[in-house]
Amino acid sequence: MKQNIFKKLLSYITEIHIESVQSDYNESLQVFLKNGRYQLCTTNAIYSYADKYDNFKESFDRLNLEAPEVKNVLLLGFGLGSIPFMLEKVFGKKYTYTGVEIDEAVIYLASRYVMDELDSEIELVQADAYAFINQNHIRYDLICIDIFVDDKIPELFLTEEFLQDVSDNLSKNGFILFNHLAFYKSDKIAANEYYEDIFIRVFPEATSLDVNKNRMMVSDKSRILKQP
């Protein structure tokens, strides 16, 4: 949706509430216009914030997307499409995307506010990410996992079985970027346990990036361009 120029300018002074919806998966989904960008929030978390979704933005700043070249991307958890937005608008990439999002309300909001701003080819699929991964036969060069219900990753997506299934959906030189919260001490402990006990067992060449109170797990450390 094209932004009203007055509201866009005003949003640099104060955030503007645009729309609120409820769904079977989220008690509260709120869209704000903030700093000229649409932001999608729940009660305790930010689901999307265009190129200001810093955990992914700063991760992409430090990742090699060129060699081997990334062509197609799977997004498990779509939000308002922050990942394709920033890759296209900031990094100049026009990949082919498949976005998997279980919440019909989130798909509605993404379609209403963001999709018409993007030139990249995007297929949005309303599905449970676990079921999609098990049934999919396409291989992807990059898989981004950003699955939250409010500020929690459902336990199903923290199992070794799920991560192994995701691995099976990678192309030969593909890699995974998995977003974990690391805001509170308990978040940091949980993220570290998952990384040490599961992630590096499935991906022995993995590394992680501490970004903006998040721990971003990367399945292939050779993709890292630079350290902070």
pLDDT of residue 1: 67
> Mean pLDDT across the stretch 18-34?
93
> Mean pLDDT across the stretch 78-94?
95
Please tell us whether the domain made up of 53-223 is placed in CATH 1.10.286.10.
no
Q: Phi and psi dihedrals of 62, rounded to 5?
A: -110, 10
Helix (H, G, I), strand (E, B) or coil at 148: coil
Q: Phi and psi dihedrals of 26, rounded to 5?
A: -135, 120
> Mean pLDDT across the stretch 19-26?
92
Please state the domain extents for the chain: 53-223
Closest Cα to residue 99, out of 54, 71, 132, 134?
Answer: 132
Sheet containing strand 16-21, edge to edge, reads 16-21, 29-34, 37-41, 46-48
pLDDT of residue 3: 73
> pLDDT class for 6, splitting at 50, 70, 90?
confident
Share of the chain above pLDDT 90, in %: 80
Say yes or no to pLDDT of 227 above 70. no
Contacts with 227 (C-beta within 8 Å, 6 or more apart), sequence order? 62
In this predicted structure, which of 49-53, 112-116, 198-202 has the lowest mean pLDDT?
Answer: 49-53
| CA atoms of 66 and 222, how far apart (whole Å) | 12
Closest Cα to residue 141, out of 177, 114, 111, 117?
Answer: 177
191-226 per-position pLDDT tens digit? 999 999 999 999 999 999 999 889 999 999 999 986
133-146 per-position pLDDT tens digit? 999 999 999 999 99
Q: Is pTM beyond 0.95 here? A: no
160-192 per-position pLDDT tens digit? 999 999 999 999 999 999 999 988 899 999 999
